[in-house]
Chains A and B, each alone.
Chain A
């Protein structure tokens, strides 16, 4: 694990109307680590994840990716960063229903300018890696929840991002499917060297992490980096 954090949140504040979601949250994410963000619902863990990913902008405090301050980046630089360096896995609703699973996985590569044939070849290989080669030609509505999440993981990994943000990735699955998704997800992320920021309220999912940070009342209690 590198000594310099890949991502840093420093004294981040953010409110939604009267609700103060983050009240001085600070956090470090190191390259290649799996970090679980835990905490009660409403504690601000998802908000923090969205700030780290550059989807939400803090009112005060800073988010740095390497040595770049995300607040001073242009919108287009931020979306280039999100497309190129970040991957996302959410609880549900993230696959394009009109496309086949293989097309869904190929999509980020196509958006980055890859040719159709090459994008589809890589997509097929990732579906293989996630042990769902059979769903390639099916649409998301035709596959099970667990299969769909594995397709979503493949889509997040296909661009070989530096960081994957996962918000309750197994939240809609039963234990057995959740475990399988986590096992394949984390093994594949470790293989590509991607860091994973994992928001979860399930301890058994958090047990796939290298370390955890607990979010309470908009602040973070961070455990020492696992060495």
Chain B
């Protein structure tokens, strides 16, 4: 979903060939996963069908003779997408919660479950911290986003560890 809006938004600065569009996307957003050309062209085909882009053809053959330009309807769509808040994802019934409750119900060591998970979380946080400190501002922002989410999980793991006795009293038959 966000790939098509990102491509559309990139066209706002001027018409581009599919190849340029892919390169711009990869530079700005594709740090972990570069786009495939196929994905660019299939997305453009869909946007074209919906009237959000139009094609300026140049003489010759092949897809790279096509320059894509955003339409007024496209600009409106991008504006609407940017201003719309994303649905927050509270993960209310997480896998972790299920594991902890099941461990308590079945007499397994729930502290061990939480500690193993916190070590795993912190391991990933270390890797992201290193990557962020070795990288540029874009790396920093992308890694920080992940780090704050992991930190929230880790705080939950800590709080749950501190409340295991109470939880055990509730869930044990």
| A, B from the same assembly | yes
Q: Are A207's CB and B128's CB within 8 A?
A: yes
B129 touches A208 (CB 8 A): yes
Q: Cβ of A203 and Cβ of B154 under 8 Å apart? A: yes
- Contact string against B for A residues 210-224, beta-carbon threshold 8 Å, 1 for contact and 0 otherwise: 101010100001010
Of A40, A183, A203, the most chain B CB neighbours within 10 A belong to A203
Q: In whole angstroms, what is the CA distance A223 to B126 when docked?
A: 14
Q: Does B162 contact A (CB under 8 A)?
A: yes
Residues of B within 8 A of A214 (CB): 115, 118
Q: Of the candidates B115, B125, B133, B162, which one forms a contact with A203 in the assembled complex, judged by CB atoms under 8 Å apart?
A: B125
Are A183 and B133 in contact, CB atoms less than 8 angstroms apart?
yes
SS of B interface (majority) = helix
- Chain B residues positioned under 8 Å from A202 (CB to CB): 151
Residues of chain B within 8 A (CB-CB) of A183 are 133
The answer to whether A203 and B150 have CB atoms under 8 Å apart is yes
Partner of B122, one of A40, A212, A221: A212
Residues of B within 8 A of A204 (CB): 125, 129, 147-148, 151
Residues of B within 8 A of A221 (CB): 115
* Interface check A209, CB cutoff 8 A: yes
Q: Flag if A223 contacts B119 (CB, 8 Å).
A: yes
In the complex, the answer to whether A40 meets B128 with C-beta atoms within 8 Å is: no
* Residues of B with C-beta under 8 A to A164: none
How far apart sit A40 and B154, CA to CA, in the bound complex (Å)? 12
| Contact between chains at A207 and B126 (CB < 8 Å) | yes
In the complex, whether B40 has a CB less than 8 A from a CB of chain A is: no
Contact pick for B158, options A40, A209, A223, CB 8 Å: A40
A9 within 8 A of B: no
Question: What is the chain A residue whose CB lies nearest that of B162?
Answer: A40
Closest to B112 in A: A221
- Whole-angstrom CA separation of A8 from B115 in the bound complex: 23
- Evaluate contact between B122 and A203: CB separation under 8 angstroms: yes
Of all chain A residues, which has the CB nearest B121? A203
| Residues of B79-132 contacting chain A, CB below 8 A | 115, 118-119, 121-122, 125-126, 128-129
A206 within 8 A of B: yes
> Which residues on the A side are within 8 Å of B118 (C-beta)?
214
Nearest-CB distance from B78 to chain A (Å)?
A: 30
Q: Is the CB of A203 within 8 A of B151?
A: yes
Interchain CB contact under 8 A, A207 and B161: no
**15 additional contacts, CB 8 Å, given A203-B155, A206-B122, A207-B122?**
A40-B158, A40-B162, A183-B133, A203-B125, A203-B151, A204-B129, A206-B125, A207-B125, A207-B126, A208-B126, A212-B119, A212-B122, A216-B161, A221-B115, A223-B119
Residue pairs across A and B with Cβ atoms less than 8 A apart, 7 shown, are A40-B162, A203-B154, A204-B147, A204-B148, A212-B122, A214-B118, A221-B115
